Every structure is written in C-alpha cells, then in structure tokens.
Amino acid sequence: MVKIKLKIAIVQLNPQINQIANTENRAIKLLNKLKVHNLTPQLIIFPEFGLTGYNFHSKAQIEPYTTFNNKGYNYDFAKKVSNEFQCYTILGYPEKFISKETKKLSLYNSTMVINADGKLVHNYRKSFLYDTDEEWGCEENPIGFNKFELEFPVSQTTAGASANCNKVKVPSAIGICMDLNPYKFEAPFNDFEFSSFVLDNKVKLIICPMAWLNSLSVTKREQASDIAIKEKLHEITKLKKEMPFLCKPSENDKYSINLDNSSTTPRKESCENTEGPAFRDLNKPDMENVNYWILRFTPLLNINYRAKWWKQLKDIFVERGSNNEISSSILGVTKEKPWGFQDSNAILCMSNRCGIEEDNTVFAGSSGIYKFNGKDFTNEESTPLTLDSSNPSVELLGNLGKGEEGILYREVELEL
C-alpha cells in the first residue's frame, strides 16, 4: 500500500460578470495568505466559471468571455498560479472549441487542469447541464464522466508496494456542479450517476468546481406569484442592501481564511436544519447544502441495509453478465460485495462560488474538503446511519462560509 499526503487549497470566489481583472486580483490576494504561512499546496482549485461569473443568457453574451483550453486569459491565469506555487491548478471556465474536421464551433462549461510546468494535462467538460448552461448554447460533454491521473509524491510505502518509486499516479475525476445531480433532474434520484462512476472506476481524488445555488435563490423553475417566492425576494433585497459585497466584492472585504489543519466542520443532521430561507452567518457553511452534497455520494457512505440489498440484487448482477455498458454498482452494492467502497478511501474537494448575481441568484459558497474513509460502523443493534454529514464514514475536514470569499487549506492523507 502507498500513502500520500495531499496538500490542497480551495479558493472560494465571488466572480461577477465583466470583472475579470478584479476577480483575479482578489484571488491572488487570497493565495498570498498561503505564502505568509509558508504553505505549499500541490493542488489549487477554483470554482466553476471561476473568473467570469455564471449567469450568461445567450451565446452572444458569453462568446467574448470564452477561451480555448490552452490559451487566453483563463489559461494564462491558471498557468501563472501553477508556476508560482509549483502545483496543479484547476480552473472552471467557458470553453470555445473549433473542430479541426468540421470547423464547427462548440461551447462547453469546462475545467482545465494545468501542471507545475504550465501545461494543460486534462480538460473536462460538464456532462450534465443546468438550465443556465442551456441558455447560452452550452453543449454536453460528448464522452461523459471520465477518469484521469494526477501525480503526487509518495509519503510512505508499506509492505508489498514497490519502494523505489517516489511518485504515484492518483486516479482522479472532475464533476462540475450539476454533474452531482440526477441528469436534467429527471433521472431516478437513486442512480447516483457521478458517485457511482467514482466507485466503479476506483477514483480516489474527486474534484468539484461549482456555482451551486443556495435555496434562497429564485430560479426560473419557480412561479413568481407564489407567496414563498415573494418572501425570498424580499430577503434577497434586504441582504443586498445590508451586505453590498455580496454583489460588489472588493479587495477591502473580509475574507474567510481557514488554514488550520486540525479544525474540522461540526456535523449536523439533515433534520436539524431550521434555518429556513434566511441567509445568515456568512462565515459559516450552509449545512443544508453540505448535507445534500454528501447525500449525492451515497454509494461511498456506510449504511445499514446493504447486506440485505446485496441478496436482493444478486439476480440483477447475474442477468447483466459482463455487459460493460451498465455501471457495475447499484447504490454502492457491487456484484462482489455488499459495499463496493468498503476498506477503500477517497478525497472530495468542492470549490463553490459565493455571492449574488443579478436580482435573485444566491450562490451557496461552503466550499469544503471531505474524506470518505470506507470504514464499517454498522452493527445489528445500532441505530441506522443517516445519509448526511452525521455519517461517520465521511470526515468533514474543513469548510468555508456560505457568503464570504476565502481560502481553505488542508493536508490530507490518502491510501492507494
């Protein structure tokens, strides 16, 4: 077995549309906090559309902000960060791509991975699109979720592993925001498409750049006449007045700085959520969202019922035979064992944006680093384990607040 210590920094930004230079300056200011504390991240992760802002409504509006994956302001910024910190930089951006064969222009919601030499080592395109992506003609990733490798130094080798290699390739995957949801919100909730992909492909490093909304947002899916909506709009107007930095971030603002490796996020069961539509304590994570994100990783969570499910699902696995088209796990149950993830481990890094865009899009911030430890906590007498942050098989290593820009740094052990 090989052990590595991953040094991860997550930058939470509030990128407003048409404010790229300002956003870059604040990002650099946040990264400088690492230098002051002599912290040397191997991986720096920015949000979905980290520099551009998110709510674009037409192809014409977004086009000036789109760039190719290996040149332009997005690439230049990521390369600068990588060179300076000698690390991988992961940045969400609107991508333009021109096919060599057909000359057709395609737009994607993408994430670039730039290595310490400033080279693009991976480019992932969002597979499951959100309504806003569709408005500007974003195309779905034609190849869907995919796995790639990032190389990190080995910190410890145990019996059986070849002792003479000092670097190890870590199987990684990127999921951009809506990728964590059921496809188009229409697929069965229990398909858990992205987290099943993670399990089936033995991904150990899960990276999620996001522009995830807080439930206070009023989206097109909701009816403007509803009383509850009016209450939400009233609350947002109040927020904007009391805390103008939510719409107009500046370099003089207060940031959430969370660099203390020993501090973890207090757990909170889903049923304890009493916050309602109010958006307070901006320096604290939004546990309603945190709990939902954890729920979407159900296949990696330890739960009580899988032994029973395994017996019931056996016939389905036999019927499927060796058809590789179908993902091999169901709710975390595999053909081989009740819980495919048992005794494994994986790190989840979520870099979500914060702030308010336009009249009523409130983003959820609460970026965080989690470890799924693959341990079994169930026994016959125990009360069932819940599918939220109170589940001991997920460790909440740290989070940023819901409303402030900031930086989170953790050193995390991972076994391969």
Report the C-alpha gap between 288 and 127 in whole angstroms: 25
Interaction with ligand GLN in 22-81: which residues (CB under 6 A)? 48
At 148, phi and psi to the nearest 5?
Answer: -145, 175
Exactly one of 211, 301, 407, 414 binds ligand GLN (CB under 6 A); which one? Answer: 211
345 or 360: whose CB is closer to ligand GLN?
Answer: 360
Span between the terminal Cα atoms of the chain, in Å: 6
Stretch that binds ligand GLN, among 34-42, 69-77, 150-158, 173-181 (CB under 6 A): 173-181
Interaction with ligand GLN in 370-409: which residues (CB under 6 A)? none
Q: Which one of 7, 96, 126, 284 is the catalytic residue?
A: 126
Report the C-alpha gap between 301 and 372 in whole angstroms: 7
Rule CB under 6 A: say whether 213 interacts with ligand GLN.
yes
Report the C-alpha gap between 247 and 10 in whole angstroms: 21
Report the C-alpha gap between 331 and 49 in whole angstroms: 31
Rule CB under 6 A: say whether 212 interacts with ligand GLN.
yes
109 or 329: whose CB is closer to ligand GLN?
Answer: 109
The answer to whether 286 and 364 have CB atoms below 8 angstroms apart is yes
Q: Which one of 7, 24, 48, 208 is the catalytic residue?
A: 48
Rule CB under 6 A: say whether 177 interacts with ligand GLN.
yes
User: Does residue 404 have an active-site annotation?
Assistant: no
The CA–CA distances, whole Å, from 127 to 184, 205, 248 equal 10, 18, 31
131 or 343: whose CB is closer to ligand GLN?
Answer: 131
Interaction with ligand GLN in 77-136: which residues (CB under 6 A)? 130
In this structure, the number of other CB atoms found within 10 A of the CB of residue 206 comes to: 23
Stretch that binds ligand GLN, among 116-124, 177-185, 270-278, 309-317 (CB under 6 A): 177-185
| Helix 73-85 and helix 20-36, axial crossing angle in degrees, nearest 10 | 10
Stretch that binds ligand GLN, among 186-194, 207-215, 226-234, 340-348 (CB under 6 A): 207-215
Within 41-152, where are the H helices? Answer: 59-62, 73-85, 131-135
User: Does residue 177 have an active-site annotation?
Assistant: yes
Q: How many residues bind ligand GLN (CB under 6 A)?
A: 8
Report the C-alpha gap between 104 and 97 in whole angstroms: 8
Stretch that binds ligand GLN, among 57-65, 174-182, 188-196, 381-389 (CB under 6 A): 174-182
Rule CB under 6 A: say whether 181 interacts with ligand GLN.
yes
Rule CB under 6 A: say whether 216 interacts with ligand GLN.
no
User: Does residue 231 have an active-site annotation?
Assistant: no
Angle at 307 between CA 302 and CA 312, to 5 degrees: 130
Contact residues: ligand GLN, CB under 6 A: 48, 130, 177-178, 181, 211-213
Return the active site residues: 48, 126, 177
